[in-house]
Structure 1
Amino acid sequence: MKRVAFVVAGLALVVGVIVLRDTDGGNSTLPTAPPPPTKLKPYVSDQVLVPSPQGRPATPANVVARGGHHKIQLNWSGEAPAYEVKWGSKTKLVTRPGTQLNGLENEREQEIEIRAVDSFGQRSQPARTKATPRADNAPYTFVDRFDSPDEPDLQRWRLAKRTDCARATSGDEEDHDRLVISSSCGTRAVTLRSRTPFVRSDDESRFVIETDAPSTGGKLLLDLVPGPVSVQGDPVLPGAIRATISTDVVGNSIVELVPNGTAAKPIPAAVPGMTVRWEIVLTKTGTQITRDGEVVATSPFVPEWHEATALIGFAALAGDRIRAGVDLIGYRTARSDAPPNVPTPQVRIDGPVSSTHPIPDVTSGQLRIALIPSRESEPVTAVRINGVEVPLRPAVPGTPWKPGAEYPAVADLPKEAFTDNLNVQLVTQERIQVTHTDVELTGPKSPPQRQAGTPLVDAHPVLADPVPEMLDAGGQPIENGAAFNRGRVVLEVRVNALDSAVAGLAGFEIRLDGNHIATVPTTVDGPAAAGRWRISLNTSSLTAGPHAVEVRAFSTDSDVHPETGYVPFLLKP
């Protein structure tokens, strides 16, 4: 009985705690974890040797500064693991010899200092330069520079995504005067669709985007599709042009052009956060892709179509979150305008019928839908919208209907569907996956349609993951899982990140089998940002069998979460 009474009392106590937390208005006195340290004291245990600061790094050389629209691009030469860039009252740390300063006032000169930063936070003497951002007034038949506080203008743009895993918004902080695409949708492209048709001219036509995408481990897709399509799937649709730019985890970029494209020259390594101007150029003899004015891929393909839908896709290569800044999208083509637009209705697929209310002044409408069949079957050729059956046709003639492949289709809306809610049913007995829907309603010309929003992925710098590796006494890597003799070994710790800015590194702690054996501070003149350190360990007193080293890196910013890396190793008997 005592045992039962104890359990009941314990349950009552737990319930009491839960009620207390739910009703105290957020002023709980329960203990919380202390914030991570932002300054570390050096510590070394017996049988451990750690490196120490040496001479200061060399001053960055060959600085080149170029002013652009609300931005300045900087490049320099140097061999340091990181650099500190100062302008006005702002400072940022970068890990490559180049960066871009955003959110600047046009025609206002900026004085800039660049210092090399070694792995212990030692600074070089500064390299100084000046530059002035300049307004971009180049002529286009259609252009959006995304300068307004609430972007994008829904009269001009639509964002296609499978779920609420992505946003197109005005940027925050230094990105406040550019469009930011933020996504946690993984490897599936999030697509920005222009409502303004791309209409070829008789001579040369250009589709232009200035963006810092693709970031490290990302992909940028530029499509011109001869039909009312909102998504970018595989394979590329008949008659369409696609440029794919991919950047791997070390910054190497490749460009692919479909159809029949060949690379014209190697692509330089990407500088994180640096805007690049990409163009699809259509001529009478073929298609080109240019990067900052240089041709990087060509194709003999000359499209037969006169008008196309322009799509810009952003994706991760390995499921990471992405944040891409867009400074400009424009056409140099024959003149065209976005069709008049009215608010977009909600679409419900094969669900309970919802109430509908007419939208006034609608003159026409179109349902755009993407389908994936589960097995070999006849294409779906009809759809029921608000109870009225209408034909469904491929958005691009000749698109194959096959299992697992996305099939974009369109249906003209009956007047009964000019409402705030659309109830849509596929007229088929087959099992079909619907991956996307959107609706185009046209009506009288209206002013720009904007709505406030914030990016899903913020711009706050983070620490890179520390990467520990075991080396033998000669400095050669020990193969994973390979057992080695007890004695002197080397632990190499690397911290590096290909981001537009990184958080300051206060240092790192090392634990062996859970025991604290060393702390290495990295703030001699200020925080480091990246580097490589080699720590000597004597494993003679350890037992045979498996062991593990944990390295935990801390930032000088208490709001930045520490990052941890692990490496196991095996000692012979």
Structure 2
Amino acid sequence: MDRRTLAGGLGGLALVIAAVVALRIGDAPDTLKREIDKNVEVVQQQEPMKPANPRAQALDADALQIAWNGSAPAYEVRWNGNEQLVPGPEVELAGLNPDQQTEVEVRAVSATGKRSEPLTIAATPKDLYNDKWDDLLVGQTDRFDGPESLDPRRWRIEAEPECLGLRPFGPSKRVDVDCSMAAFQSNTPVRFGVPASDGAIGRAIISVAGAVESSHVRLTMLPDPWQYLKETEALPRGAVSLDITTQGTRIIADPDLPRTDKQVALGDSPMTGLVAGVRHRWEMRVLPDAVIALRDGVVVAYEAVAIKTQLVHPRIRIDGGGFLDSFGVGGVPERVVPTEVIPLSPNTEVPQDAVAAKIVTPEAGNQVRVVELPVGEKRIAVAAPAQLVVIRKPESRPGTLPKLANRPGGIKTGGPRLHVMHEDGTRPPQPLSPKGRVLITAEINAIGHRGIELELDGKRIVALPTNEQGPGVPGRHEFWLDTSALTPGANARLKLCVLPADHGEPVITETVFELGKTP
């Protein structure tokens, strides 16, 4: 592991390898020895409580999603001779035998590595899988399991280089997103039709997983010609979005769309948002008088609006990372329209296989100007921000398949953080009183570490093992520091080191606080 210094507890992502081989007490020849300075008092932690209320469902015939109730920093999951540490009360187990019952044990894990008594659940994937979920979709359902799934005939991608890769998922792979933002514009429009059995005139369904606490997924239905423009924070005119974060799901609609008096009953769902490393299936269901959001078939949000256009263009945006599983649409069947958007230079050539071309220019006031080019036009001379939009023949492939490097699986977690507060409530950057005690809080987000060390001005004041009964997990450690150990009127530097189980270089964060002068 590379040494990384995270100033002030900001930045950095640690990759948590999904398959964890448990490290038991005594397995490591040099387990960290507990050492606490005389001026430090460790705040005692509660024993981990056994998880409760297990639940199981399946998005595929060879995978299980297991959820439970609990408030531990992390959990240890065991099944079929495998073990995995997860930071929240949910896990997805892929690559299972569809017809075989799988027994799963879940243990709560404390910040120091103690395990609770196990919660047990058994389920058979095939018994829980609903193979009718895509019956109301039309055309080809996209399975994001390789470079071919991002065929430029079907998708236009806006992302940084090296943003996309392939992560393992059971016996197959999924498209992994690891950058600040990636947008996927579908070249297959959705045309609304007559209401289906559930009242929908159209729909889009996406199966996706988050990566970190800040992951954010947005599925937007764009009216023409907004699908040709780059992704922005502003919601285009006439657009409606399915907005998904780790906190929940909502529908966001252009304020100028007509409102209706439609009322929709929400379902009973304990969670409505993204989960790191666990897929869920969201549906954006369009009714004549409302747009509804469903998570795994349960209504979790709606907006009483009427979309005015009959044809929309789906766009997926992922912020903060995640992985794509599948995507499909419902409505009136439409053909793929191979489209390429080319930034304009003073002398831009129109591709020879273009069947239509237009110049699209964003303008002030959330407006777009479109100029159709004459058939046979070979060169144009228009400057940015205008863009050349080229519609190609159905058999054309604009561009090439993206190169997707293989990546390890697992869950990304944030780097460690340090917080300081005087017992009188004062926090930096205000000077802290030189009398009394200072509460030091160390937030650890890594999985699989063996201990932490805390240094004050270069001197180690805490060495705390975190692998009492197995590898350490995310958690919060609190320490009271007597200010008599500090120099009044001076700055104090704290350094937190998270020691990996493989004895590699520690992950480090530091913070500095000022101690006031003695009155």
* Letter matched to residue 237 of structure 1: P
* Letter matched to residue 555 of structure 1: P
Q: Which position in structure 2 is the counterpart of 1:426?
A: 382
1:41 aligns with 2:33: yes
Query: How has the CA–CA distance of structure 1 residues 164 and 466 changed in structure 2, closer, same or farther, with 3 Å as cutoff?
Result: closer
Q: Which position in structure 2 is the counterpart of 1:223?
A: 220
Query: What do you get for the CA RMSD once the two structures are aligned?
Result: 3.8
- The answer to whether the Cα contact below 8 Å between 1:243 and 1:257 also exists between their aligned partners in 2 is yes
Deviation at 1:461, TM superposition (A): 4.6
Structure 2 distance, partners of 1:479, 1:535, is 17
Q: Which position in structure 2 is the counterpart of 1:387?
A: none
1:551 aligns with 2:496: yes
1:288-331 Cα shifts (integer Å, max 9, x gaps): 2333334344344323432221211222xxxxxx3222222112
TM-score normalised over the length of structure 1: 0.70
Structure with max Cα Rg: 1
Q: Which position in structure 2 is the counterpart of 1:495?
A: 444
Q: Which position in structure 2 is the counterpart of 1:319?
A: none
Q: Which runs of 5+ in 1 are unaligned?
A: 1-36, 316-321, 373-400, 418-422, 497-501
Q: State which drifts further: 128-137 or 261-270.
A: 261-270
1:332-352 Cα shifts (integer Å, max 9, x gaps): 21222324x5xx889563267
Q: How do residues 362-373 of structure 1 correspond to structure 2 at under 5 angstroms? A: 362=353, 364-366=355-357, 371-372=361-362
Deviation at 1:445, TM superposition (A): 7.9
Structure 2 distance, partners of 1:558, 1:174, is 28
Residue aligned with 2:169, SS = helix
Residue 564 of structure 1: which of 491, 509, 518 is its match? 509
Q: Which position in structure 1 is the counterpart of 2:323?
A: 325
Deviation at 1:122, TM superposition (A): 1.2
Deviation at 1:424, TM superposition (A): 5.4
Query: How has the CA–CA distance of structure 1 residues 412 and 94 changed in structure 2, closer, same or farther, with 3 Å as cutoff?
Result: farther
**Equivalent pairs, count:** 466
Q: Which position in structure 1 is the counterpart of 2:237?
A: 238
Structure 2 distance, partners of 1:539, 1:116, is 35
1:113 aligns with 2:101: no
- The higher relative CO (CA closer than 8 Å, separation ≥ 6) is in 2
- The answer to whether the Cα contact below 8 Å between 1:72 and 1:101 also exists between their aligned partners in 2 is yes
Residue 276 of structure 2: which of 272, 276, 297 is its match? 272
Deviation at 1:567, TM superposition (A): 4.5
1:314 aligns with 2:297: no
Deviation at 1:562, TM superposition (A): 1.1
Structure 1 distance, partners of 2:296, 2:85, is 25
Q: Which position in structure 2 is the counterpart of 1:15?
A: none
Residue 117 of structure 2: which of 105, 116, 125 is its match? 125
Q: Which position in structure 2 is the counterpart of 1:146?
A: 143
Deviation at 1:258, TM superposition (A): 0.5
Deviation at 1:281, TM superposition (A): 1.9
Query: How has the CA–CA distance of structure 1 residues 233 and 411 changed in structure 2, closer, same or farther, with 3 Å as cutoff?
Result: farther
Structure 2 distance, partners of 1:350, 1:325, is 35
Q: Which position in structure 2 is the counterpart of 1:258?
A: 253
Structure 2 distance, partners of 1:58, 1:78, is 8
TM-score normalised over the length of structure 2: 0.76
Q: Which position in structure 2 is the counterpart of 1:442?
A: 393
* Letter matched to residue 494 of structure 2: V
Query: How has the CA–CA distance of structure 1 residues 151 and 91 changed in structure 2, closer, same or farther, with 3 Å as cutoff?
Result: farther
Residue aligned with 1:124, SS = coil
- The answer to whether the Cα contact below 8 Å between 1:82 and 1:528 also exists between their aligned partners in 2 is no
Deviation at 1:73, TM superposition (A): 1.2
Residue 402 of structure 1: which of 353, 364, 380 is its match? 364
Q: Which position in structure 1 is the counterpart of 2:415?
A: 465
Structure 2 distance, partners of 1:175, 1:561, is 31
Residue aligned with 1:152, SS = helix
Query: How has the CA–CA distance of structure 1 residues 461 and 162 changed in structure 2, closer, same or farther, with 3 Å as cutoff?
Result: closer
Query: How has the CA–CA distance of structure 1 residues 269 and 480 changed in structure 2, closer, same or farther, with 3 Å as cutoff?
Result: farther
Query: How has the CA–CA distance of structure 1 residues 297 and 200 changed in structure 2, closer, same or farther, with 3 Å as cutoff?
Result: same
1:298 aligns with 2:302: yes
Q: Which runs of 5+ in 2 are unaligned?
A: 1-28
Residue 211 of structure 1: which of 208, 211, 221 is its match? 208
* Letter matched to residue 236 of structure 1: L
- The answer to whether the Cα contact below 8 Å between 2:272 and 2:300 also exists between their aligned partners in 1 is no
Identity of aligned residues (%): 22
1:410-457 Cα shifts (integer Å, max 9, x gaps): 64574465xxxxx75316xxxx435x76643114489xx8555127x8
